[in-house]
Chain A
C-alpha cells in the first residue's frame, strides 16, 4: 500500500482571487485511478503570497513541495509525475 499524496491548496485571499477557487474543485477532475491516491486539503494562507522568490499566487503544496502559479493543468501534470495513470500492480 503506497502512501497517499498530500495536495494542499491555499484558500487565502490572494490565492483565492488568482485562481484557487477553481483549484479547490480539483477532486472532481481527478481520474478515477487517482482518486484514492490523493488527499486534498485546504489551507488558510500559506504566507507565501508576499514573497517574490517562489512564483505567484495561487500556491499549492504537493507532498510538501511548494508550487506557484498553480492551475488545474499544472497540478495535474505535477501529479502525473508521481502517479501512473493506470496503477496496475498485480
Chain B
C-alpha cells in the first residue's frame, strides 16, 4: 500500500538581499531513479545579485545532474569549481552547496556539504547526529573541503539546511555579536516544533527565514536568506468512493472502505451514498442552507462518522476540469471542498464502482454526462502529473 511509504514534503523559503532583483542563493530538487530518490541542492553564490545567482544556479544545476547520473562526488565538485566564472573584483570563483540525496522509501540519506552551514536533523525536538561523517578534499582545490554525512531519516524526522544568511543573521547587533548561528536556528526550530509538532515544511522554512531576517538591523535582508526543510512524514491519505459496485454482493466490502483506513473519506454520488448509509447504518445530512451558495452543482452534505458527500459525475467532472486548468476560485462549494481535501493529501485512493446508471444515458438530459471511468482516468492523470499525488485505483 502506498499509504505505508513515508511522504517527502520538501519546501523552502528564500528572501533576497535588499536592493537586488535576483537572489544569490539557488535551490533545486528532482526525483531520480523513477521516483525512488529525492535529490535536493542548495547553493549560495559569492556576493549577491545576478552574478551570485548565476554562480549558484550553475552549481545547483550541475550538482543535480551529476547526482542523478551517480557521478563520483569529488570529480563532480571539481568540475563545478572549474567551470564557475571567476569574479573580476575578488579574483575567485565561489559557490557553496548542500546536496541531499535520499532514498524516498527508506529515508537513508547522504548529505554533502561545502561551505554552507551544516544541516540539522530533528526527530521531534531532538537533534540527531549523523552516524558517519567524513571529510573529502580535492587535491586541486585544497581549501574547499567537503563533509559527507550518512544519516537515517525515520518517519516524522525533519532535515533543515540553509544558507549563511540564516546563521549570520543579526551579526554585529548587540544580542547576536556573532550572528544567530546554527545553534540559534536549532533552538528556534526546536521551540517551534514543541509548540506545533505537525508544523509543515513550508511553515517551518518560512518561520526560520523570516525570523533570521528580523534579527538584522531594521529587519533588512543584508544577505540572501534561504531555508530548506525536508519533512519525512506519514502520508495523508484521502479516499474517494464513487459509483455503485457492479455486483450487489460487493456492496458491503465497498462500504467498509468508507469506514476505515484513510485519514479522510469523500463519497461522490447519490446512489453510492445510499449504498454506504445502508451498509454502515448511518445517514447523510444534506444542508439545504448550502443551496443558495452551492453554485452550479448540487450542495455537499455530511455522512456521520464518514465524511463529505457530494453528487457524483457532475462534481467529479468539475473537480477534474478545475485541476486541469489550475484554477478553482469560482468553483461551486462541493467541488471546492473536494479540491481542498485533495490539496491537503498526499495519497489519493480512488475506489470506483463500475455499475452504470441507466438514467445517465438518457438522451433527454440537457448535457452529455462523462462516463465515470473516463473521468477517473483524467483525474488520475492530472493528479499524478500536475500535483505530484500518489494515486491508487480500485475497481468494484
Using a CB–CB cutoff of 8 Å, the interface residues on chain A facing chain B are 9-14, 16-18, 20-21, 24-25, 27, 40-47, 49-50, 57
Cross-chain contact B270 with A12 (CB below 8 angstroms): yes
- What sequence of 0s and 1s flags, for each residue 349-382 of chain B, a beta carbon within 8 Å of any chain A beta carbon? 0000000011110101111010000000000000
Separation in Å of the B253 CB from the closest CB of chain A?
A: 20
In the A-B complex, the 6 residue pairs with the closest CB atoms:
A45-B270, A12-B270, A42-B286, A44-B270, A49-B359, A11-B298
Contact indicator B274/A47 (Cβ below 8 Å): yes
- Is the pair A50, B357 in contact by a Cβ cutoff of 8 Å? yes
- With A24-B291, A45-B273, A49-B357 known as contacts, the answer to whether A13 contacts B369 (CB < 8 A) is yes
In the assembled complex, the Cα of A57 lies from the Cα of B270 at a distance in Å of 14
Q: How far is the CA of A56 from the CA of B60 in the complex (A)?
A: 64
B269 to chain A: which residues have CB within 8 Å? Answer: 13, 44-45
Contact of A16 with B298 in the complex, beta carbons under 8 Å: yes
Give Cα A41 to B298, complex, Å: 13
- Interface residue from B287, B288, B294, B359 paired with A14 (Cβ < 8 Å): B359
Q: Are A42 and B360 in contact (CB under 8 A)?
A: no
CB within 8 Å of A: which of B304-358? 309, 311-314, 357-358
- Check A44–B362 contact: CB distance below 8 A: no
* A80–B188 alpha-carbon span in the complex (Å): 69
Pair B270/A11 contact, Cβ less than 8 Å: yes
Q: Which residue of chain A is the closest to B310 with respect to CB atoms?
A: A44
Q: Is the interface of A mostly helix, strand, loop or mixed?
A: mixed
Instruction: Give the interface of B toward A (CB within 8 A).
Output: 269-271, 273-274, 284, 286-288, 291-292, 294, 296, 298-299, 301, 309, 311-314, 357-360, 362, 364-367, 369
Q: What number of A-B contacts does a CB cutoff of 8 Å give?
A: 85
Interface residue from A13, A25, A41 paired with B357 (Cβ < 8 Å): A13
Please, which residue of chain B has its CB at the minimum distance from the CB of A51? Answer: B359
Give min CB distance, A23 to chain B, whole Å.
10
What would be 29 A-B contacts, judged by CB atoms less than 8 Å apart? A10-B270, A11-B270, A11-B298, A11-B299, A12-B298, A12-B311, A13-B269, A13-B311, A13-B313, A13-B369, A14-B359, A14-B362, A14-B365, A16-B311, A17-B367, A24-B299, A25-B292, A40-B288, A41-B286, A42-B298, A42-B299, A42-B301, A43-B284, A44-B271, A44-B286, A46-B270, A49-B357, A50-B357, A57-B359
A45 touches B360 (CB 8 A): no
Across the interface, which residues of B come within 8 angstroms of A10, CB to CB?
Answer: 270
Given contacts A9-B288, A57-B359, 12 further A-B pairs with CB under 8 A are A11-B286, A12-B270, A13-B269, A17-B365, A17-B366, A18-B364, A21-B296, A24-B298, A44-B274, A44-B284, A46-B270, A47-B271
Report the minimum CB–CB distance from B56 to chain A (whole Å). Answer: 53
B residues in contact with A17, CB < 8 Å? 314, 365-367
Residues of A within 8 A of B296 (CB): 21
Give A42 to B292 CA distance when docked, in angstroms: 13
The answer to whether B274 and A50 have CB atoms under 8 Å apart is no
- A50 to B357, alpha carbons, bound, how many Å? 7
Query: Distance in Å from the Cβ of A14 to the closest Cβ of chain B?
Result: 4
Report yes or no: A12 in contact with B271, Cβ–Cβ below 8 A: yes
How near does chain A come to B289, taking the closest CB pair, in angstroms? 9
Question: What residue of chain A has the Cβ atom nearest to residue B309's Cβ?
Answer: A44
Q: Is the CB of B358 within 8 A of A50?
A: yes
CB contact under 8 A between A50 and B311, given known A17-B366, A25-B291, A42-B287: no
Complex Cα spacing A90 to B284, Å: 39
Whole-angstrom distance between the Cβ of A24 and the nearest chain B Cβ: 4
CA distance A16 to B313 in the complex (A): 11
Residue numbers in B under 8 Å from A13 (CB-CB): 269-270, 298, 311-314, 357, 359-360, 369
Asked if B362 contacts A45 (CB within 8 A), the reply is no
Q: Which residues of A contact B298 (CB under 8 A)?
A: 11-13, 16, 20-21, 24, 42
Q: For A11, list chain B residues within 8 Å (CB).
A: 270, 286, 298-299, 311
Q: B301 to chain A: which residues have CB within 8 Å? A: 42, 44
Q: Within the complex, what minimum Cβ distance (angstroms) separates B91 from chain A?
A: 72
Say how far B366's CB is from chain A's closest CB, in angstroms. 6
- Min CB gap B303→A, angstroms: 9
In whole angstroms, what is the CA distance A40 to B287 when docked? 10
Query: Which residues in B have their C-beta under 8 angstroms from that of A27?
Result: 288
Whole-angstrom distance between the Cβ of A78 and the nearest chain B Cβ: 18
